[in-house]
Amino acid sequence: MTYSKKPLVGIIMGSSSDSRIMKGAAEIFDEFKIKHEDQIISAHRTPSRLAEYAQHAEKMGFKVIIAGAGGAAHLPGMIASHTIIPVIGVPILVYNDKHPKKTDAAKFSAFGGLDSLLSITEMPSGSPVVSVGVNKAGNAGIYAMKILANEFPELKNKLKQHKSDQHKSVLKESEQLKK
Ligand code: RP5
Protein backbone atom coordinates (compact mmCIF):
# COMPACT_ATOMS: atom_id res chain seq x y z
CA MET A 1 0.00 0.00 0.00
CA THR A 2 1.25 3.49 -0.80
CA TYR A 3 -0.18 6.38 1.16
CA SER A 4 -0.24 9.12 -1.46
CA LYS A 5 0.31 9.37 -5.20
CA LYS A 6 2.30 12.53 -4.59
CA PRO A 7 5.59 12.45 -2.67
CA LEU A 8 5.04 13.08 1.04
CA VAL A 9 8.70 13.65 1.80
CA GLY A 10 11.27 15.91 0.19
CA ILE A 11 14.84 14.66 0.49
CA ILE A 12 17.44 17.24 -0.44
CA MET A 13 21.22 17.40 -0.22
CA GLY A 14 23.87 20.00 -0.84
CA SER A 15 25.95 18.00 -3.31
CA SER A 16 26.00 14.76 -5.27
CA SER A 17 28.80 13.71 -2.90
CA ASP A 18 26.18 13.57 -0.11
CA SER A 19 24.03 11.03 -1.95
CA ARG A 20 25.75 7.91 -0.63
CA ILE A 21 24.82 9.04 2.90
CA MET A 22 21.36 10.36 2.06
CA LYS A 23 20.33 7.13 0.38
CA GLY A 24 20.01 5.82 3.96
CA ALA A 25 16.89 7.98 4.36
CA ALA A 26 15.49 7.01 0.96
CA GLU A 27 15.86 3.32 1.83
CA ILE A 28 13.60 3.74 4.86
CA PHE A 29 10.84 5.30 2.75
CA ASP A 30 11.22 2.63 0.10
CA GLU A 31 10.87 -0.03 2.82
CA PHE A 32 7.71 1.67 4.16
CA LYS A 33 6.41 2.37 0.63
CA ILE A 34 6.29 6.13 1.12
CA LYS A 35 6.87 8.30 -1.93
CA HIS A 36 9.74 10.73 -1.69
CA GLU A 37 11.32 13.20 -4.08
CA ASP A 38 15.11 13.55 -4.02
CA GLN A 39 16.98 16.63 -5.25
CA ILE A 40 20.34 18.34 -5.02
CA ILE A 41 20.00 21.91 -3.78
CA SER A 42 22.99 23.88 -2.53
CA ALA A 43 22.42 26.68 -0.03
CA HIS A 44 25.54 28.46 -1.27
CA ARG A 45 25.74 27.51 -4.93
CA THR A 46 22.02 27.60 -5.83
CA PRO A 47 20.42 30.01 -3.30
CA SER A 48 17.54 31.04 -5.59
CA ARG A 49 16.71 27.37 -6.29
CA LEU A 50 16.66 26.79 -2.52
CA ALA A 51 14.17 29.63 -1.94
CA GLU A 52 11.92 28.48 -4.79
CA TYR A 53 11.93 24.88 -3.53
CA ALA A 54 11.12 25.82 0.06
CA GLN A 55 8.39 28.29 -0.91
CA HIS A 56 6.64 25.63 -3.04
CA ALA A 57 7.17 22.71 -0.66
CA GLU A 58 3.76 23.04 1.00
CA LYS A 59 1.92 23.19 -2.32
CA MET A 60 3.91 20.15 -3.45
CA GLY A 61 2.27 18.25 -0.57
CA PHE A 62 5.43 17.53 1.42
CA LYS A 63 4.73 16.77 5.08
CA VAL A 64 8.38 16.72 6.09
CA ILE A 65 11.69 17.68 4.51
CA ILE A 66 14.99 15.93 5.17
CA ALA A 67 17.99 18.08 4.31
CA GLY A 68 21.56 16.80 4.42
CA ALA A 69 24.70 18.87 4.03
CA GLY A 70 28.33 18.90 5.12
CA GLY A 71 30.71 21.63 6.25
CA ALA A 72 28.91 24.96 6.62
CA ALA A 73 25.58 23.16 6.49
CA HIS A 74 23.12 26.01 6.00
CA LEU A 75 20.75 24.04 3.80
CA PRO A 76 18.31 22.75 6.50
CA GLY A 77 18.16 26.10 8.31
CA MET A 78 17.61 28.14 5.18
CA ILE A 79 14.86 25.77 4.04
CA ALA A 80 13.20 26.08 7.46
CA SER A 81 13.35 29.86 7.21
CA HIS A 82 11.06 29.71 4.14
CA THR A 83 8.48 27.12 5.21
CA ILE A 84 6.40 25.83 8.13
CA ILE A 85 7.02 22.20 7.12
CA PRO A 86 9.19 20.40 9.72
CA VAL A 87 12.80 20.06 8.60
CA ILE A 88 15.10 17.28 9.79
CA GLY A 89 18.78 18.01 9.21
CA VAL A 90 21.43 15.39 8.49
CA PRO A 91 24.96 16.61 9.22
CA ILE A 92 27.26 14.97 6.68
CA LEU A 93 30.91 14.06 6.81
CA VAL A 94 31.93 12.98 3.33
CA TYR A 95 35.20 11.56 2.09
CA ASN A 96 37.04 12.67 -1.00
CA ASP A 97 36.50 9.83 -3.50
CA LYS A 98 39.85 10.48 -5.15
CA HIS A 99 41.76 9.86 -1.93
CA PRO A 100 43.02 6.25 -1.82
CA LYS A 101 42.16 5.69 1.85
CA LYS A 102 39.41 6.86 4.17
CA THR A 103 41.97 8.48 6.47
CA ASP A 104 41.60 11.88 8.17
CA ALA A 105 43.36 13.43 5.15
CA ALA A 106 40.54 12.22 2.94
CA LYS A 107 37.83 13.88 4.97
CA PHE A 108 36.14 16.86 3.39
CA SER A 109 35.81 18.57 6.77
CA ALA A 110 38.62 19.39 9.18
CA PHE A 111 36.19 19.17 12.11
CA GLY A 112 34.85 15.64 11.84
CA GLY A 113 31.29 16.67 11.04
CA LEU A 114 30.96 18.79 14.19
CA ASP A 115 30.93 21.90 11.99
CA SER A 116 27.95 20.54 10.09
CA LEU A 117 26.15 19.36 13.24
CA LEU A 118 26.49 22.76 14.91
CA SER A 119 25.51 24.64 11.74
CA ILE A 120 22.26 22.68 11.77
CA THR A 121 21.41 22.73 15.47
CA GLU A 122 22.51 26.24 16.42
CA MET A 123 19.59 27.97 14.74
CA PRO A 124 18.45 31.31 16.16
CA SER A 125 15.47 31.29 18.55
CA GLY A 126 12.17 30.92 16.73
CA SER A 127 13.60 29.04 13.71
CA PRO A 128 14.10 25.45 14.84
CA VAL A 129 15.59 22.59 12.85
CA VAL A 130 15.98 19.18 14.45
CA SER A 131 19.08 17.16 13.71
CA VAL A 132 20.08 13.53 13.73
CA GLY A 133 23.68 12.46 14.34
CA VAL A 134 26.44 12.85 11.78
CA ASN A 135 25.72 10.69 8.69
CA LYS A 136 22.65 9.12 10.37
CA ALA A 137 20.30 9.62 7.43
CA GLY A 138 18.42 6.42 8.27
CA ASN A 139 17.44 7.91 11.62
CA ALA A 140 16.08 10.96 9.81
CA GLY A 141 13.95 8.58 7.75
CA ILE A 142 12.57 6.81 10.83
CA TYR A 143 11.87 10.11 12.59
CA ALA A 144 10.04 11.38 9.52
CA MET A 145 7.93 8.20 9.54
CA LYS A 146 6.88 9.04 13.09
CA ILE A 147 5.74 12.49 11.95
CA LEU A 148 3.83 10.96 9.02
CA ALA A 149 2.17 8.40 11.34
CA ASN A 150 0.20 11.26 12.96
CA GLU A 151 -1.58 11.76 9.65
CA PHE A 152 -1.53 8.16 8.42
CA PRO A 153 -2.26 5.97 11.49
CA GLU A 154 -1.68 2.76 9.45
CA LEU A 155 2.01 3.61 9.63
CA LYS A 156 1.99 3.13 13.39
CA ASN A 157 1.78 -0.65 13.03
CA LYS A 158 4.64 -0.61 10.54
CA LEU A 159 6.76 1.37 12.98
CA LYS A 160 5.88 -1.07 15.77
CA GLN A 161 6.87 -3.96 13.50
CA HIS A 162 10.17 -2.17 12.73
CA LYS A 163 10.89 -1.89 16.47
CA SER A 164 10.01 -5.52 17.06
CA ASP A 165 12.30 -6.62 14.17
CA GLN A 166 15.16 -4.68 15.78
CA HIS A 167 14.47 -6.37 19.10
CA LYS A 168 14.52 -9.82 17.49
CA SER A 169 17.72 -9.12 15.62
CA VAL A 170 19.53 -8.04 18.83
CA LEU A 171 18.34 -11.22 20.57
CA LYS A 172 19.61 -13.29 17.64
CA GLU A 173 23.01 -11.57 17.76
CA SER A 174 23.14 -12.18 21.51
CA GLU A 175 22.42 -15.89 20.99
CA GLN A 176 25.20 -16.07 18.41
CA LEU A 177 27.68 -14.73 21.00
CA LYS A 178 27.09 -17.86 23.08
CA LYS A 179 28.15 -20.19 20.25
C1 RP5 B 1 28.47 20.82 1.18
O2 RP5 B 1 29.81 20.65 0.96
C3 RP5 B 1 27.82 19.57 0.66
O4 RP5 B 1 26.66 19.30 1.35
C5 RP5 B 1 28.87 18.50 0.84
O6 RP5 B 1 28.65 17.77 2.04
C7 RP5 B 1 30.16 19.28 0.95
C8 RP5 B 1 31.12 18.96 -0.17
O9 RP5 B 1 30.50 19.22 -1.39
P10 RP5 B 1 31.25 18.95 -2.77
O11 RP5 B 1 32.49 19.81 -2.73
O12 RP5 B 1 31.58 17.47 -2.79
O13 RP5 B 1 30.28 19.33 -3.85
O14 RP5 B 1 27.94 21.93 0.55
Question: The complex's ipTM?
Answer: 0.93
Identify the burial level of 69 via C-beta atoms within 10 angstroms of its C-beta, where 0-12 means exposed, 13-18 middle and 19 or more buried: buried
Cβ 26 under 6 angstroms from ligand 1: no
Contact 90, 67 (CB under 8 A): yes
Cβ 50 under 6 angstroms from ligand 1: no
pTM of this prediction? Answer: 0.91
Which value, to the nearest 10 degrees, does the dihedral of the CA atoms of residues 43, 68, 91, 84 take? 80
- Domain 9-152 classification at class level: alpha beta
Q: Which atom of ligand 1 is nearest to the CA of 70?
A: 6
pLDDT per residue as tens digits for the range 121-176? 999 999 999 999 999 999 999 999 999 999 999 999 999 999 999 999 999 999 99
Consecutive H or E run containing 145: helix 137-151
| C-alpha 6 to ligand 1 mean position (Å) | 29
Domain range annotation of the chain: 9-152
Cβ 70 under 6 angstroms from ligand 1: yes
pLDDT band at 96 (very low <50, low <70, confident <90, very high): low
